[in-house]
């Protein structure tokens, strides 16, 4: 059964700092991993999707890496801004061909001005 864990559960940093959010998953037979952002009481915004054949994917100040064999992904945020404050979720398909996403509980990020 696929399980996703995100550490830390919460993170508070000063503005301008670079930071890393971690995601681990138990079943490495995935074909992609998706990172989302969730603002309080709101929906999920897709940030990046990284294919299992890729090691990294970049979008602006965000960089996601994937190490499928060790069951880990990281989301690197450069030069953090107060507007980055949100909960960041990672999700993987339940198993190889599944469309069902299994989510972690998220990391709540606060960027202080």
Partner 1 sequence: EPEVTQTPSHQVTQMGQEVILRCVPISNHLYFYWYRQILGQKVEFLVSFYNNEISEKSEIFDDQFSVERPDGSNFTLKIRSTKLEDSAMYFCASSSGTPGDETQYFGPGTRLLVL
> Is 77 or 101 the residue whose CB approaches partner 1 more closely?
101
Contact predicate 11/110, CB 8 Å: yes
* Distance of closest approach, residue 18 Cβ to partner 1, in angstroms: 25
Options 27, 28, 31, 63; binder of partner 1; rule CB under 8 A: 31
Relative to beta strand 86-93, strand 101-103 is antiparallel
Q: Does 102 participate in binding partner 1 (rule CB under 8 A)?
A: yes
Give Cα separations from 95 to 20, 78, 90, 92 (angstroms).
26, 31, 15, 8
Residues contributing to the site for partner 1 (CB under 8 A): 31-32, 34, 36, 41-46, 49, 51, 89, 91, 93-94, 98-106
């Amino acid at each position: 059964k696929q399980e996703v864990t995100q550490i830390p559960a919460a993170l508070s940093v000063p503005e301008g700092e670079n930071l890393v959010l971690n995601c681990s998953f138990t079943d490495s037979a995935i074909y992609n991993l998706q990172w989302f952002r969730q603002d309080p009481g709101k929906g999920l915004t897709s940030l990046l999707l990284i294919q299992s054949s890729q090691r990294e994917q970049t979008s602006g100040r965000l960089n996601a890496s994937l190490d499928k064999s060790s069951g880990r992904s990281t989301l690197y945020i450069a030069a953090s801004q107060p507007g980055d404050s949100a909960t960041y979720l990672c999700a993987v398909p339940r198993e190889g061909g599944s469309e069902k996403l299994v989510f972690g509980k998220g990391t709540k990020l606060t960027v202080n001005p």
